[in-house]
Amino acid sequence: MTGPGKNPDDAAEVIHEQRRECLCKLTKFVGAAGVAAAMWPLVAALGPDEQTQADGEPMDIPLGNVAPGETLRRVWRGKLVFIRHRTEQEIKLANALDGVSRIQPQADAQRVKPGHEQWLVVYGYCPHAGCIPNEQTGEKSGWLCPCHGSEFDLSGRVTRGPAEENMAIPDYAFHPDGQTLRIGVKDV
């Protein structure tokens, strides 16, 4: 291995240098693969799930088993939707509060479908910061955002707190049978 004018220590140093370079490259490769493997679940979690990848197809919701005073929670296109079966007393209270909303005064009749006043359909998010409001019963029936204190009446109108908008209303319609709600359409 050594020839005239070659130092055996120089050859050993070259071999050691090549090994170091190889180990460094291998370590970088394994490290990059480890980071990619660790990031994969995070990146996959940030994307839409299989239910929402149906590109917003309308969703039918049977209403026959929902008693007055109950609220259904459904997820459509990755967004929470509240479907409230309001009692006669709740409808009267919502109508009595027309014009009370401090930001966007809307009549209750503008927030429900004619002939289906007992059904309130709103997105289940506080428009202030996207929190999910908790349902309130009793004197202050409606929803309360636990994070910042915004309050919404039984029509989804903001009555108190930092929210600047009423709870949003998705496109929806009722089937002619009156017992099925279709979210994602304006007419059936």
pLDDT tens per residue across span 126-144: 888 888 998 887 777 789 9
Q: What is the mean pLDDT of residues 152-170?
A: 90
Active site residue 148: yes
Full DSSP string of 28-69: HHHHHHHHHHHHHHHHHHHS--TTGGG-S--EEEE-TT--TT
**What are the structural domain ranges in the chain?**
1-47, 52-183
Q: Which residue has the higher pLDDT, 45 or 86?
A: 86
Determine the average pLDDT of the residues in 94-101. Answer: 76
**Catalytic one among 85, 116, 128, 148?**
148
pTM: 0.68
pLDDT for 45 beyond 80:
no
Range among 19-28, 54-63, 131-140 rated most confident: 19-28
Question: May I ask the CATH class of domain 52-183?
Answer: mainly beta
